[in-house]
Structure 1
Amino acid sequence: MKTCLVVDDSKVVRMVARKILEGLEFEVEEAEDGKVALAKCVAHMPDAVLLDWNMPVMNGIDFLRRLRRVNGGAEPIVVFCTTEKDFSFIQEALAAGANEYIMKPFDKEIVEAKFEQAGLL
């Protein structure tokens, strides 16, 4: 079974994402910020990361840059899931190593389509 780490400071968003991803047969872990997420990735690298941009402690873009530098950190498929819709944010995310970009709010069809495009399904 593939694994996905859901990184978002909103418990509600993590809960909704978990339900969708478990329905797509992913084993799901959660983190409330980039610092916790990075520690979880170092301990056990997931197949995918669904990542928010704006979080306390360590934001999504800083997490992504650090993830891509750790041992095995180039492997996970990273899908940004955020309210940041300006094209410059999308460009920055892709330059930092994101594979896909989803706008909030999202639903099962959007997540499924992006994960399929990224080769996770």
Structure 2
Amino acid sequence: MQARKILLVEDEHGLVMTLTDRLSSEGYLVEAVSEGDAGFGRAVAEHFDLIILDLMLPHSSGLDVCRDLRQRGIKTPVLMLTAKSLVVDKVIGLKLGADDYLTKPFEMM
């Protein structure tokens, strides 16, 4: 069985390492990029089973990336992972195409 691939678009190095280690230990292949435009490029170029997308990124916001992916017809599930926790932020993220929205800090079980 082929491992599921996750694209992690996050600019906090410590969080990237933690998530990559944890997801890899669960059998996922994780590719991480730290800028919004790089995340968009990778998501367009290759199939991923999930995109974990920070909201506040250099070069292109997670909201822009998510919207642009949906406009391109890319239906890969997107989990927004962000410190922006206001209800309005969540509504905007979901309306722009995110499938779920998780606020930082969060706890891994």
SS at 2:71 equivalent: coil
In the other structure, the counterpart of 1:65 is 67
2:51 to 45, 49, 52: 49
State TM-score, norm by structure 1. Answer: 0.83
Q: Distance in 2 between matches of 1:33 and 1:85?
A: 21
Q: Deviations for 1:16-35, whole angstroms, at most 9, x for unmatched residues?
A: 11112112221100111110
Residues 49-92 of structure 1 deviation map (CA, whole Å, 9 limit, x = unaligned): 11110111001000000111225x11x11111111000000001
Give the letter aligned to residue 43 of structure 1: A
Q: How many residues align?
A: 107
Matched, 1:12 2:14: yes
Q: Confirm whether residue 93 of structure 1 aligns to residue 93 of structure 2.
A: yes
Q: Which residue number corresponds to residue 115 of structure 1? A: none
Task: Supply the distance in 2 between the matched residues of 1:23 and 1:104 (Cα, whole angstroms).
Answer: 22
Q: Could you list the structure 1 runs, at least 4 aligned residues long, displaced by more than 4 angstroms after superposition.
A: none
For structure 2, the 5+ residue unaligned runs are none
Residue 4 of structure 1 aligns with an amino acid whose one-letter code is I
Give structure 1 stretches of 5+ with no counterpart. Answer: 110-121
CA distance in 1, matches of 2:93, 2:66: 8
Give the secondary-structure state (helix, strand or coil) at the position aligned to 1:102. Answer: strand
Aligned residue identity for 1:87? V
The correspondence for 1:35, drawn from 20, 37, 46, is 37
